[in-house]
Structure 1
Amino acid sequence: MKTIDGKQIKLQIRDTAGQEPFRSIHPSYYRGAAGALLVYDIIRRDTFNHLTTWLEYARQHSNSNMVIRLIGNKSDLEFRSEVKKEGEAFAREHGLIFMETSAKTGSNVEEAFINTAKEIYEKIQEGVFDINNEANGIKIGPQPAATNATHAGSQGGQQAGGGCC
């Protein structure tokens, strides 16, 4: 768990590695997602060439406000890159946020997730995502227990703001 703006944020991550056998279950993944990371391997052009298909599929099956980040992985092998600046251009063309990472060295990996979570959080703050509708891929977890002063005057064990526990 990470803290953003003083709030604990927990991400649920599903990785299909772009494999076709998982394609039939993707609609349910996207329907309940607030964000997605589309990752390609910078030293394998074929993974980059499939991005258009995966992006269209994600957009077709998701909320139109879903945060999508494009990730070029294996930045530690940049000298072998088959996909030079094309990732940045693709991201610009499709309105995505772009960054390169290295799963091997850990470079920018955590940042990719944290920055995606921050962008989702900003959309929540702006009212773009309805936090009461879990179909947006956002679920509010247990809230911290209130202080005894908050319970003053409450009845039946319920807090002043409603709810129980």
Structure 2
Amino acid sequence: MGCKPSRREGFLPTRWVVNPLVGRDSSQRDGLYTSRRVSVDDSQPTPHYTEPQTLGKELTAAQRNFPQITFEQIAVQSRTCSVGLYGPWAARGGIAFLRIMFSFPKYYPELKPPSIEIERSSDVSARTRAFLLKSARELMRDHVHNCKLAAFESCC
């Protein structure tokens, strides 16, 4: 139970959330990225962020790019949003609903990642919830630090 890979070898709950990003190029992301470059470490083309991105545009693009995620509330002016999604986070790899709340600081995405909270649920163990929360926070912090994809979309 908890944070172990599920019955499918090598499958982690956080990977399921990130998987929609795999295999998409910049042309499929509704203008979030204006060019591509080759990464020094893996010689694979990676998106290159070249224009300032507004929070509203990023959230709108994320809504289009991730139809499996329900955007329950978006408040650009107060810089918050909440999303809901189903995934393999219940005991023994069962499906459970998660509600996740994001709060975007003034200097997001240039200097600070969004804060994130995952609503407690009887379907998701405290250990799994803590693992998902820690992983999402690290992912967003790393993306802001390394000037990669917008941190919010990297977590979706």
In the superposition, the TM-score normalised over structure 1's length comes to 0.22
Larger radius of gyration: 1
Query: Larger % of helix: which?
Result: 1
